[in-house]
Amino acid sequence: MATSLEWAREEFGSAELGDTRRVERLVAMAAAAAERPAGRVSEVFDDAAARQGAYDFLESGHLGFGAIAQATADATLRRAHKLDYIVVPVDGTSLNLTDKAQSKGFGSIGARDRGARGLKLIDAIALSPAGVPLGLLNMQWWSRPLKANAVSLSVRSHDEKETRYWLGAIDGVSDRLAEESAELRAWFHLDREGDSQHVLEKLVSSGHWFTVRSNFNRRIHLGGRLRPKRNQRDRSQRTYLRQHLRKQRILGEYPLDVPASEERPARRARITVRSATVLVRLEDRKTMRCRTISVNAVWAKEQRGPKRRSRSGRTQQASLDWLLLTNRPVKTLKSARHVLSTYALRWRIEDFHKTWKSGLCNVEDTQLRSPEAVKKWATMLAAIAMRAERLKHSSRESPDSPATNEFSPNELQALVLLKRKRASRTEVVDDNPTLATAVRWVADLGGYTGKSSGGPPGTITIARGLERLLMAAEVLDLLGQQKKPQKKR
């Protein structure tokens, strides 16, 4: 892994800020935040001058967050240059920010009657086909109005709805890929929140692959004249997606290990898969225009899931049930499972949000005074959160690769020294560990307790260990510089 300064140069060194001194300030700030991630600027910078310089940079009205976001997107695509395609989860979240005086310009988040303030966001990240995070690709920020729009959603255009931010994220990724590489293709993945007419139309027209989890039992078209729903009186003649899929032959079955959660124990589920190519009806309620798009529907359903009690006290079946709409070819169980397993990578964006907001960076603790300043600082911290997620998943996907792929010589030397200090008498410490071993050692420095933790090292323990490791590596770097012979003047 590159040192914090090397990483910061790679991530933000290409930012177009109009002055090299501004770029140097950005790189220095990102490097400092990578070493001591925190939501509050004052917790990252001990030195008063550096702290004031960071505040001046963030609060400056001459620098927008767009150039910072563009720089980290460029770095992401550089990491993807050897890949045939990238997996691009798109998801929404919000930052709950302190604004007691209600003077910072933040908007409403959550239920308006609760009075929470902050910023809303739709973002897109890039993953390798194996699921290793590569970085950020696009961020669409906005402040939601404090008062609800009195105009009904059914009569608003999509330019007036928050759907436009989903469209903006898809367009932003598509445009950036067109500029950077004609060969690199995206495979967009959206959860049920992204299942809307305009988003589906945008995905179809993007020219990239997509998979969307269906939020509705959509009506499909089997032929004949297209008519708006309101003009069709006989409901018995309508055909809906789930009912249609039930009539299709089963592609196959396969076992799926479902991890434990707060609501359920771990189990092995038996999944049945059906698929069909269908014409999904998309009707614009405002214009009454009706059209269709062709997609492959993949329905994966657990045969008999566990039972759980709802809040009302009733017992419910908690079976897994995924209905996915995709433009990837699906003709066999193998191709259907490929769509399903790749869609499962969408959860990586939720892991990133957790690392960014609470697990490592605590971005919601920021006390900055304006939305624009928050966007700049949050973008830097988001890149740091992605860096930690990338290290975690790299060690899981390529455990036997050499640690030198991710760690600098000084970091690896410091890690070996720290491990030897903690090792038992019988434990052998290899000078050239694998990536998985090195990450495990880092996690040990951060308090990882092994199997009793309930799984492999997570982001928080890795991040704690990295903080100790980076400090030790910096000391070795300084000692190395002192030993170098001084040039004669």
CB 244 within 8 A of CB 278: yes
State residue 227 phi and psi, 5-degree precision.
-135, 145
What is the predicted pLDDT for the residue at 480? Answer: 79
SS3 450: helix
Q: What is the pLDDT of residue 262?
A: 64
Buried b (16+ CB within 10 A) or exposed e, 207-225: ebbbbbbbeeebbbbeeee
How many Å apart are CA 68 and CA 198, to the nearest integer?
29
Number of CB atoms found within 10 A of residue 306's CB:
15
* Structure-token pair, residue 15: 């930012």
Coil, strand, or helix at residue 376? helix
- Detail the DSSP E strand segments found in 259-309: 267-283, 290-302, 307-309
The DSSP H or E segment spanning 398 is none
- pLDDT at residue number 152: 54
- Cα–Cα distance list, 262 to 202, 217, 413, 453 (Å): 36, 29, 40, 15
Q: Give the domains, in start order, of the chain with CATH numbers.
A: 4-64+368-381 (1.10.246.40), 65-364 (3.90.350.10), 398-483 (1.10.740.10)
Q: Which residues contact 394 (CB under 8 A, 6 or more apart)?
A: 132, 401, 405, 406, 435, 439
Residue 135 CB partners (closer than 8 Å, separation 6+): 11, 72, 73, 75, 76, 79, 125, 126, 383, 386, 390
Per DSSP, the three-state class of 17 is coil
Place of tokens 């945008």: 202
| Residues of the chain predicted below pLDDT 70 | 1-2, 150-160, 224-225, 227-237, 260-263, 305-317, 451-454, 484-489
CA distance 439 to 396: 9
Report how far residue 350's alpha carbon sits from residue 279's, in angstroms, rounded to the nearest whole number: 31
pLDDT confidence of residue 249:
93
DSSP class of residue 303 equals S
CA distance 470 to 4: 8
Q: How many CB atoms lie within 10 A of CB 48?
A: 8
Check residue 410 and give its pLDDT. Answer: 85
Do the strands 107-108 and 133-142 form a parallel or antiparallel pair, or are they unpaired?
A: unpaired
pLDDT digits (tens, 9 = 90+) for 173-183: 999 999 987 78
* The pLDDT value given to residue 314: 58
Angstrom CA distances, 462 to 206, 294, 443, stand at 37, 44, 4
Over its C-alpha atoms, the chain yields an Rg (Å, rounded) of: 25
